[in-house]
């Protein structure tokens, strides 16, 4: 009984004096990384820095970006760890990011670091555009697997392709921006005009096309490599194809929110986020990471994905996003008539 009282007292004390109990800092970290990875990222970081505790706030990329923008005048986050670089560029242009050069950033692939010095964001890993092809349904329909983007415009695929809507999905936008950067405006839009003829529907999220292909709702899903590998592990009869022309991609990245009250802890987190150890951790889910030479192949994915990535100009993509989407909606949304 006495011992129990003691416990209760100790509990009450530590509740009353949290500052005495631990001299640690709390970081509010906004993120869009997969729900399954959160605990692992937190545990690995807190093992390296026991004095800092991460409090995650997680949602999908679009919702997270909207949330950050809505909180522009009264930011709640200290750090953003794991949000699309294009989204972070949007925040940068609103003056919401604290420029900071993390220790050891020079070791990272230049593609993954903001071009300004000091950089406003640093990358973690990449997701790369890929096709998910359902072999069972393909065979039933007597189709051959596509090997290039150009193949997708062949008439035999009519009504069998789904892709994400670039207006609502970051993956959809990286596809469109990738095509326009690879081929230039004119050829890019001509390609999309022809592709549009074959599309059965544009989805709201970027991983859904791959899952639809996995479930046989579509034959080809224009998506990215991560949900493809995941669906294949779950038993989906799909092949993951990287088109021969090259693939658009997006970086997941880290940034400090300007005006944070925990700047030192935030810098510690960003410093750690570019280390080799952190990149090895990202590699568990992503086959391309910012630290060269770290990545090990992932089950169901080829080892040379990095070589498929086009030379992506994030700044161009972010500054032209509005114009591109307006044009896209003008061309394809209006034509999106029901098939019946």
> Would you tell me which residues interact with another protein (CB under 8 A)?
34-36, 56-60, 62-63, 65-66, 69-70, 73-74, 89-90, 92-95, 114-116, 120, 136, 165, 167-169, 200-205, 207-212, 215-218, 227, 234-237, 315, 318-323, 325, 329-330, 333-334, 336-340
Q: Which residues contact 6 (CB under 8 A, 6 or more apart)?
A: none
Rounded Cα gap, residues 38 and 84, in angstroms: 16
Q: Which two tokens stand for residue 35?
A: 């729900």
For residue 292, the minimal CB distance to another protein (Å) is 24
Residue nearer to another protein on the CB measure, 251 or 295:
251
For residue 44, the minimal CB distance to another protein (Å) is 19
Q: Which residues contact 322 (CB under 8 A, 6 or more apart)?
A: none
Residue nearer to another protein on the CB measure, 59 or 304:
59
Rounded to the nearest 5°, which phi and psi values hold at 235? 110, 10
For residue 10, the minimal CB distance to another protein (Å) is 28
For residue 94, the minimal CB distance to another protein (Å) is 7
Residue nearer to another protein on the CB measure, 10 or 57:
57
Q: Which residues contact 305 (CB under 8 A, 6 or more apart)?
A: 128, 225, 242, 287, 288
Residue nearer to another protein on the CB measure, 13 or 69:
69
For residue 201, the minimal CB distance to another protein (Å) is 5
Residue nearer to another protein on the CB measure, 111 or 245:
111
For residue 331, the minimal CB distance to another protein (Å) is 10
Residue located via tokens 């890993």? 125
Residue located via tokens 């098939």? 339
| CA-based torsion, 44, 47, 49, 50: positive or negative | positive
Q: Which two tokens stand for residue 270?
A: 């960003």
Residue nearer to another protein on the CB measure, 62 or 102:
62
């Amino acid at each position: 009984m006495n011992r129990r009282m003691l416990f209760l007292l100790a509990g009450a004390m530590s509740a009353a004096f949290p500052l005495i109990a631990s001299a640690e800092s709390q970081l509010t970290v906004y993120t869009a990384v997969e729900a399954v990875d959160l605990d692992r990222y937190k545990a690995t970081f807190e093992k390296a820095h026991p004095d800092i505790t991460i409090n995650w706030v997680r949602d999908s990329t679009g919702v997270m970006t909207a949330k950050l923008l809505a909180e522009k005048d009264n930011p709640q986050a200290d750090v953003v760890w794991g949000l699309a670089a294009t989204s972070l560029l949007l925040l940068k242009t609103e003056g919401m990011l604290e420029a900071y050069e993390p220790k050891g950033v020079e070791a990272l692939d230049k593609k993954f670091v903001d071009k300004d010095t000091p950089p406003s964001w640093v990358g973690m890993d990449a997701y790369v555009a890929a096709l998910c092809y359902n072999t069972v349904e393909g065979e039933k329909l007597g189709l051959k697997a596509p090997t290039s983007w150009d193949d997708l415009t062949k008439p035999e695929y009519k009504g069998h392709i789904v892709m994400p809507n670039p207006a609502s999905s970051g993956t959809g936008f990286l596809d469109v921006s990738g095509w326009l950067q690879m081929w230039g405006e004119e050829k890019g839009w001509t390609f999309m005009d022809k592709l549009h003829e074959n599309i059965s529907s544009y989805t709201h999220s970027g991983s859904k096309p791959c899952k639809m292909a996995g479930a046989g709702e579509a034959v080809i899903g224009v998506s990215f490599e991560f949900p493809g590998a995941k669906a294949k592990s779950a038993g989906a009869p799909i092949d993951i194809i990287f088109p021969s022309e090259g693939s658009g991609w997006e970086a997941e990245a880290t940034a400090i929110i300007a005006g944070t009250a925990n700047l030192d802890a935030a810098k510690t987190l960003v410093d750690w986020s570019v280390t080799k150890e952190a990149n090895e951790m990202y590699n568990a889910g992503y086959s391309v990471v910012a630290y060269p030479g770290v990545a090990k192949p992932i089950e169901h994915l080829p080892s040379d994905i990095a070589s498929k990535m086009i030379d992506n100009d994030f700044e161009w993509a972010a500054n032209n996003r509005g114009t591109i989407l307006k044009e896209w909606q003008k061309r394809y949304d209006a034509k999106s008539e029901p098939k019946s």
